[in-house]
Chain A
Amino acid sequence: DTGVSQDPRHKITKRGQNVTFRCDPISEHNRLYWYRQTLGQGPEFLTYFQNEAQLEKSRLLSDRFSAERPKGSFSTLEIQRTEQGDSAMYLCASSLSPSGTATTNEKLFFGSGTQLSVL
């Protein structure tokens, strides 16, 4: 299967702990996105990369959140000092976009997500 892969599928942690999620995009895709979804809401944009460059970060993303995409392949999302409000589904998506274009006129392919529960 060559779809977007996320690991782990589920993560339960205690408040104050750090967690890290991994996303492996579709291999030829140059863009990678992180979204967060809570119950009854649509996916909420967190950040995105074009190759290894992080081009945009949501102002809703606190300093406790950091994302990396070394070498423009897989990406990690780390949450430090987790809070109960961080409990959500974290979704990764990838796409193939012409370099240099600022718009998103392409479809995103989503992974199955990582469900985070902070106790």
Chain B
Amino acid sequence: DQQVKQNSPSLSVQEGRISILNCDYTNSMFDYFLWYKKYPAEGPTFLISISSIKDKNEDGRFTVFLNKSAKHLSLHIVPSQPGDSAVYFCAASITKLIFGAGTRLAVHP
């Protein structure tokens, strides 16, 4: 059962524009959501998180939005930079983190 879904396997964005990565979940018991970023041959690194009691969290160029009624969250990166090119994983937690399949973001000049 895939409780956390990232339906877009890839996304290509021009440098300076906004990148929007989407994530859907099915379990209403999830109480915390995180985004991780992964470069090749490295482990995932934490990017930003949001509690289920909030609808927005911002950290520099990164903003995460949570829509609990739709069981949907999104990560906005503004402005996108070539160094943002990586695989982004959405994760949700109860007693452990459950990850989506990831979205590969390519930011081109």
Asked whether B45 lies within 8 Å of A110 as measured between CB atoms, the reply is yes
The listed residue (A35, A43, A104, A113) touching B93 by CB distance below 8 A is A104
Residues of B within 8 A of A109 (CB): 46
**How far is B34's CA from A108's CA once the two chains are assembled, in angstroms?**
10
Contact among B4, B32, B46, B99 with A105 in the assembled complex (CB-CB below 8 Å)? B32
Which residues of A64-92 have CB atoms within 8 Å of chain B's CB atoms? 91
Q: A42-B89, A110-B45 are in contact. Are A105 and B95 (CB under 8 A)?
A: no
Q: Which of B28-85 contact A (CB under 8 A)?
A: 31-32, 34, 36, 41-46, 49, 51
Provided the pairs A103-B31, A103-B32, A105-B31 are in contact, do residues A45 and B96 lie with their beta carbons within 8 angstroms?
Answer: yes
Q: Any chain B CB within 8 A of the CB of A40?
A: yes
- On chain B, which size bracket covers the interface? 20 to 34
* Total residues of chain A contacting the partner, CB 8 A: 25
Query: Which label, helix, strand, loop or mixed, suits the secondary structure of the A interface?
Result: loop
Which one, A41, A55, A91, contacts B43 given CB within 8 A? A91
Min CB distance B28 to A, Å, is 14
> What chain B residues lie within 8 Å of A21 (beta carbons)?
none
Contact A45 B97 (CB under 8 A): yes
Can you name the residue of chain A whose Cβ is closest to the Cβ of B51?
A105
- Of B49, B98, B99, B100, the residue contacting A107 (CB under 8 A) is B49
Smallest CB–CB gap between B30 and chain A, Å? Answer: 10
Pick the residue among A43, A111, A112 that contacts B99 (CB under 8 A). Answer: A43
Q: Which chain A positions have C-beta within 8 A of B89?
A: 42-43
Contact of B96 among A41, A91, A104, A111 (CB under 8 A): A104
Where the two chains meet, the residues of A that have a C-beta atom closer than 8 Å to any C-beta of B are 4, 33, 35, 40-45, 48, 55-56, 91, 93, 102-105, 107-113
7 A-B contacts (beta carbon < 8 Å): A40-B102, A43-B97, A103-B31, A104-B96, A107-B34, A107-B49, A110-B44
Please list the 10 inter-chain residue pairs (A to B) with the smallest Cβ-Cβ separation, ordered nearest first. A110-B43, A42-B99, A104-B93, A107-B46, A105-B32, A43-B99, A42-B101, A110-B44, A112-B43, A42-B89
